[in-house]
Amino acid sequence: MSIAKNLTEIKSQLPAQVTLVAVSKTKPVADLMEAYTAGQRIFGENKIQEMTDKWEQMPKDIEWHMIGHVQSNKVKLMAEYVSLIHGVDSLKLLQEINKQAKKHNRIIDCLLQIHIAEEETKFGLDEEEINHILTSDDFKSLENIKIVGLMGMATFTENQNQIEKEFNHLNSIFDKHSKLETSNLKLQTLSMGMSGDYKLAISCGSNMVRIGSSIFGNRNYQ
């Protein structure tokens, strides 16, 4: 089955309010261009260098989302063009994004990554840390970033009840903080759900899903 067909099929199943991020990590530009030609304009990458290489080669009306763990020292490579950074998990990282965005006279949209999984390996903030960041004077002084939502990854498990519980937990944190609004904070995006669990995520309130293998096929990790 072709990438274009996969894309059309998935899009036909998504509610109108749900944004599809095509996760294109490890895939060649030719595959991304097939998706682009089929109408996809939002691509998600997990390595800043790889994303930058693709940005340089591809049409400039693409929105690039950084969906992987972000190393502070690499932020400068994407500050010129990135549309949304999903995995922000510290004030220090926000300060670095703010600093690099300022150099390009931009405001960069970010999602705070919340730790909802039971696995220790997943990155993310707990509720206390989110509260601490969003109410701090250091955060309020950042003029070149905007927190536009939250993201989280469920535990890698076959247990649908557990995944549902984790998604609902993230949704409740989102609801709680969506009342807050400042010049650099307005929660509108709840990014949760991937190829294996995006339908469940949408039923739990997600309005942005990150889908890779169901569009591009399995990845070849070297």
Residue 218 confidence (pLDDT): 83
Residue 32 lies in a domain: yes
Structure tokens at 66: 């950084």
How many domains is the chain partitioned into structurally?
Answer: 1
Q: 181: domain CATH number?
A: 3.20.20.10
Element (H, E) at 74: none
Residue 222 lies in a domain: no
DSSP 14-39: S-TTPEEEEE-TT--HHHHHHHHHTT
Residue 220 lies in a domain: no
* Sequence-ordered list of residues with C-beta below 8 angstroms from that of 201, at least 6 positions apart, any chain: 154, 167, 192, 193, 209
Element (H, E) at 60: none
According to DSSP, residue 117 is labeled: S
Residue 219 lies in a domain: no
Q: What pLDDT tens digit does each residue of the chain (222 aa) get? A: 699 999 999 999 999 999 999 999 999 999 999 999 999 999 999 999 999 999 999 999 999 999 999 999 999 999 999 999 999 999 999 999 999 999 999 999 999 999 998 876 667 999 999 999 999 999 999 999 999 999 999 988 999 999 999 999 999 999 999 998 999 999 999 999 999 999 999 999 999 999 999 999 987 655
What is the value of pTM for the model shown? Answer: 0.95
Residue 198 lies in a domain: yes
Element (H, E) at 119: none
Residue 73 lies in a domain: yes
Domain interval for residue 49:
3-214
Is the distance from CB of 102 to CB of 81 less than 8 angstroms? Answer: no
Identify residue 86 by its one-letter amino acid code.
H
Token look-up 């909802």 returns: 116
Residue 221 lies in a domain: no
Is the distance from CB of 49 to CB of 71 less than 8 angstroms? Answer: no
Going by C-alpha positions, the residue among 35, 86, 36 that lies closest to residue 60 is 36
